[in-house]
């Protein structure tokens, strides 16, 4: 009988490995919700790096229902608001370290709200360019009297001249 080893560990099937990975990612997500750093999450959950912990948290977020993700995002934003309020006095004094922290908070807020994500191409700009070019050509054609020629070719349409 062949032993099961490989990426999922000794004696674990692929399904067991996936279940274990999902449970570990859920734990990482819970720790992140409690404001643990990615370095701390990596150490606690056995990830090889903070990047691996971050990726696990992102996977876990993607796997949960949209409403739960919205609640977590709201909670994270409230935490950022609280941190920014705590810096208010230092910011008013012009403390450069506080300003740096505030900028990092704003960066996190922008990431959480999707401000940095590229917006989907709806095609509206291309339609506007095509219509603009068409209208420009029509105005030019009218100015050159080319549209009058089209009316003459179509024949009498009932208008008295």
pLDDT digits 0-9 by tens, 56-75: 998 888 877 777 778 888 88
Residue 76 and residue 159: Cα distance in Å, rounded? 69
15: tokens are 């399904």
Burial class of residue 115 (count of CB atoms within 10 Å of its CB; 0-12, 13-18, 19+)? exposed
What is the pTM assigned to this prediction? Answer: 0.41
Indicate the domain borders of the chain. 7-64, 65-116
82: tokens are 């609280």
102: tokens are 């505030």
Q: Which residues contact 51 (CB under 8 A, 6 or more apart)?
A: 38
Instruction: Confirm if 12 and 19 have CB atoms less than 8 A apart.
Output: no
156: tokens are 């009498």
Residue 90 and residue 105: Cα distance in Å, rounded? 15
112-159, pLDDT tens digit by residue?
Answer: 888 888 777 777 777 778 777 777 787 877 777 776 655 555 555 555
pLDDT confidence of 6, banded at 50, 70, 90? very low
């Amino acid at each position: 009988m062949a032993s099961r080893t490989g990426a999922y560990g000794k004696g674990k099937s692929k399904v067991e490995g996936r279940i274990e990975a999902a449970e570990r990612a859920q734990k990482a997500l819970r720790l992140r919700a409690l404001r643990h750093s990615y370095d701390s999450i990596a150490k606690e959950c056995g990830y090889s790096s903070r990047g691996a912990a971050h990726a696990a948290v992102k996977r876990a977020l993607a796997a949960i229902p949209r409403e739960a993700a919205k609640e977590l995002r709201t909670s994270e934003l409230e935490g950022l608001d609280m941190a920014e309020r705590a810096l208010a006095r230092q910011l008013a004094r012009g403390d450069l370290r506080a300003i740096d922290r505030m900028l990092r908070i704003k960066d996190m807020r922008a990431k959480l709200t999707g401000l940095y994500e590229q917006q989907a191409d709806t095609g509206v700009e291309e339609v506007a360019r095509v219509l603009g070019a068409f209208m420009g050509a029509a105005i030019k054609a009218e100015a050159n009297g080319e549209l009058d020629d089209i009316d003459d070719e179509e024949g009498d349409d009932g208008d008295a001249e």
